[in-house]
Amino acid sequence: MSPAHFVLHDVFGYEQFRGPQQAIIDHVIAGGDALVLMPTGGGKSLCYQVPAIVRRDAGLGVTVVVSPLIALMHDQVGALHEAGVEAAFLNSTLDWQQTQDVERRLARGEITLLYAAPERVTTDRFLTLLDGLHARGQLGLFAIDEAHCVSQWGHDFRPEYRQLAVLHERYAGVPRIALTATADALTREDIVQGLRLQQARQFVSSFDRPNIRYRIEEKKEPLTQLMRFIDREHLGEAGVVYCQSRKRVEELAQALCDAGLTALPYHAGLPAEVRQQNQDRFLREDGIVMVATIAFGMGIDKPDVRFVAHVDMPKNIEGYYQETGRAGRDGLPADAWMAYGLQDVVNQRRMIDESPAGEEFKAVMRGKLDALLALAEATDCRRVRLLGYFGETSEPCGNCDNCLNPPAVWDGTDAARKLLSTIYRVHEASGLTFGTGHIMDILRGKATDKVQQFGHEKLSTFGLGAQYSEAQLRGVLRQLLAAGAVGLHKVTTEGGHSFDTLALTEGSRPVLRGEQSVLLRETTAAAGPKKPRRAS
C-alpha cells in the first residue's frame, strides 16, 4: 500500500480516492505544483491534506494552508484533530497568547497543517518564521484554497491574495497547490498569473452535475409560476428560492406561507439571530423552503435540497452555477428552475452601469452578464452551454428543458429591424428617447394618447409590426438587449422620477442592415400557463 493510500484509510477512514484525487496527490507528494479546479463537494481538501501528512511523515515539514474563510479553518482543524492530525490555525480570532503558542509549536516542528488567513501569511513576522523553517528544510508545502480570490473580476476578490506570489519568489523549491471551484477561463488565467503558477500542472474536473435538471422559462407572473412549479413537482420538499432584493425576499416568503408552505426568509438585513435560527431550521427540519438573497448558501451543506429556484436572474454564470449547485448534493434528481424576463436584463445592465467601478471592470461584468443571457435565451442544450462556459465540451444532456422539449424557434430578424428603426425614427423626429411600452405601441399601431401627443402615429414605422404580439416583441427586445444591439438610456423627469429608455448602439447596425439574424424561442404558448380549454 502506498503511503498516500495508507493515510487515506488510516487517518481519514476512506476506501478509495475519488476522481482525480489520486493523480493530484501523487503529483504534489512528488514535489510538483498543481492547480486544481473541482466543483464544490468534489473533495478538494484531501488533495492537500493527504500530501501534507505524507510529506511530514517523510521529514519534509509543515504544510501552510492559506484560507480566507475563518469558519472553514475552524471546521477543518477540528476535524483533523479528531482524526489525530496535528493541525492549528492563525487568524484574528486568536489572542496574542494563543498566537504565540501556535508560532512556538510551528517553530518546533510540531504542526503538520497550519491554516492561516492570507493577510497573516504575507506579514514580515510570519515570513520570518517561514524563513527559519525553510532554512532547516521544514517547509513542506503551500496549499492555497479558494484560489479564485486572486482574481479581481470575481465576486470574492481579496487583494491580499495578490501578495501570495511572494511564496513562490521566496521559497521557489517548495511545492504549491492552488484549489478553486470557480473555473471559467478568465479566472483560471488570473490564478496562473497572480500566483505565478505557470509551471503548475492543471487538474480540471468535470463541473457537470448530471442529476440537476436545468430549466429556464419566461417570467410572467413569478409568484404564480413559482407556486405552480413547487406545487406540481416539489410539494413538501426542501428548496431554496433566490431573489434579488431583501424586500422581494420578505414578500415572497410571506406569499408562500400564505399559500400554506413552510417558507423562511434569509437576507443580510435580518438580525443575526433570526438568520441563524432560519438556517438551523432549514438544515434540521424537512420540507422547508428558504427564500433568500445570495447572502444564503456559502458553506451550507444540506444534501437533500430538491430544488433551487431563481425568480430573479443572477449576475453571471458563475453565480448561477454556484447557486443551482446547492441542489441535489446527494446525487438524487433535483431541479434548477429560473424565471427570467426583460426586466431582469434591464435591472442587471443598470446595476453595472451605475456601479462606481471603472470602465474596464464594467466591460468584463457586461461580458459575463451577456454569457448568462445567452444561456437563458438558448434554444439548444443548457448543459452544453453551461459546461462550455467552463471550457468543457459535452453532448446534449437529455436532462434539461431544451433537450426534453425542444423549443419551437421563430425568425425574429424582421421584427428586430422594425423595432430598431422605430427607435431610430422616434429619436430622429423628436430628439427624444422612449421606453419599451411606447416603442411597441408605435410598432403595433396603437394610437395611444401619448403616441398622438408626440405625433408618432405619423412615423413611417407606425403599425408596421402589427402582426407581432407584445410577447413576441418583448422577446426580440430581450434578445437585442442581451446582445448589446440596443442600449438603455436613463431619462430623469422634472419631478425627479427616472426611467429607462431605448437607444441605438454600435451593435444595432448589423441588425438594421439585415446582416445579423435574430432567432428566438417561441415563448408564448410553450412556457406559459396552460389555460383550461373552453368547451366549444
Judged by beta carbon, residue 42 or residue 487, the one nearer ligand ADP is 42
Q: How far is CA 511 from the centre of its chain?
A: 31
Q: Which does 445 bind (CB under 5 to 8 A by kind): Zn ion, ligand ADP, none?
A: none
| Only segment of 10-18, 52-60, 239-247, 471-479 that touches ligand ADP (CB under 6 A) | 10-18
- Collapsing DSSP states into helix, strand and coil, what is residue 508? helix
Q: Is 17 in the site for ligand ADP (CB under 6 A)?
A: yes
CB of 396 to Zn ion, least distance (A): 5
Could you give phi then psi for residue 487, rounded to 5 degrees?
-115, 165
Cβ neighbours, 10 Å, residue 79:
14
Q: Is 400 in the site for Zn ion (CB under 5 A)?
A: yes
Q: Is 53 in the site for ligand ADP (CB under 6 A)?
A: no
Computed on alpha carbons and rounded to an integer, the radius of gyration of the chain in Å comes to 27
Judged by beta carbon, residue 326 or residue 349, the one nearer ligand ADP is 326
Q: Is 68 in the site for ligand ADP (CB under 6 A)?
A: no
**CA 99 – CA 118 distance, rounded (Å):** 15
Contacts of residue 102, defined as CB under 8 A and 6 or more positions apart, other chains included, come to 88, 89, 90, 94, 111, 114
Q: Of these, 9, 18, 350, 458, which contacts ligand ADP (CB under 6 A)?
A: 18
Q: Which residues pair with 188 in a beta bridge?
A: none
Q: Is 118 in the site for ligand ADP (CB under 6 A)?
A: no
Q: Of these, 383, 438, 474, 521, which contacts Zn ion (CB under 5 A)?
A: 383
Q: Is 381 in the site for Zn ion (CB under 5 A)?
A: yes
Contacts of residue 272, defined as CB under 8 A and 6 or more positions apart, other chains included, come to none
Using CB under 6 A, count the residues that bind ligand ADP: 12
CB of 383 to Zn ion, least distance (A): 5
Q: Is 516 in the site for ligand ADP (CB under 6 A)?
A: no
Judged by beta carbon, residue 43 or residue 388, the one nearer ligand ADP is 43
Judged by beta carbon, residue 21 or residue 322, the one nearer ligand ADP is 21
Judged by beta carbon, residue 17 or residue 266, the one nearer ligand ADP is 17
- Give, to the nearest 10 degrees, the angle between helix 470-482 and helix 359-377: 140
Q: Is 46 in the site for ligand ADP (CB under 6 A)?
A: yes
Q: Is 44 in the site for ligand ADP (CB under 6 A)?
A: yes
**CA 77 – CA 383 distance, rounded (Å):** 36
Q: What is the DSSP string of 86-103?
A: -EEEESTTS-HHHHHHHH
Cβ neighbours, 10 Å, residue 468:
20
Q: Of these, 24, 25, 38, 309, which contacts ligand ADP (CB under 6 A)?
A: 38
Task: Answer positive or negative: Cα dihedral of 275, 280, 282, 285.
Answer: negative
* Contacts by 352-357, CB closer than 8 A, 24 or more apart: 353/488, 353/490
Judged by beta carbon, residue 50 or residue 504, the one nearer ligand ADP is 50
The three-point CA angle 465-469-474 to 5° equals 95
Cα distance between the two ends of the chain:
77
CB of 526 to Zn ion, least distance (A): 16
| Only segment of 84-92, 279-287, 353-361, 382-390 that touches Zn ion (CB under 5 A) | 382-390
Cβ neighbours, 10 Å, residue 150:
29
Q: Which does 17 bind (CB under 5 to 8 A by kind): Zn ion, ligand ADP, none?
A: ligand ADP
Q: Is 37 in the site for Zn ion (CB under 5 A)?
A: no
Q: Of these, 2, 10, 41, 490, which contacts ligand ADP (CB under 6 A)?
A: 41
Contacts of residue 203, defined as CB under 8 A and 6 or more positions apart, other chains included, come to 20, 23, 24, 27, 34, 35, 36, 37, 38
Could you give phi then psi for residue 364, rounded to 5 degrees?
-65, -40
Judged by beta carbon, residue 85 or residue 384, the one nearer Zn ion is 384
CB of 310 to Zn ion, least distance (A): 18
Q: Which does 333 bind (CB under 5 to 8 A by kind): Zn ion, ligand ADP, none?
A: none
CB of 13 to ligand ADP, least distance (A): 9
The 3-state secondary structure of 264-280 reads: EEECCCCCHHHHHHHHH
**CA 423 – CA 443 distance, rounded (Å):** 10
**CA 214 – CA 232 distance, rounded (Å):** 16
Q: Is 403 in the site for Zn ion (CB under 5 A)?
A: yes
Q: Of these, 6, 14, 410, 454, which contacts ligand ADP (CB under 6 A)?
A: 14
CB of 443 to ligand ADP, least distance (A): 50
Using CB under 5 A, count the residues that bind Zn ion: 5
CB of 264 to ligand ADP, least distance (A): 25
Query: Applying CB under 5 A, which residues contact Zn ion?
Result: 381, 383, 397, 400, 403
Binding site for ligand ADP (CB under 6 A): 14, 17-18, 21, 38, 40-46
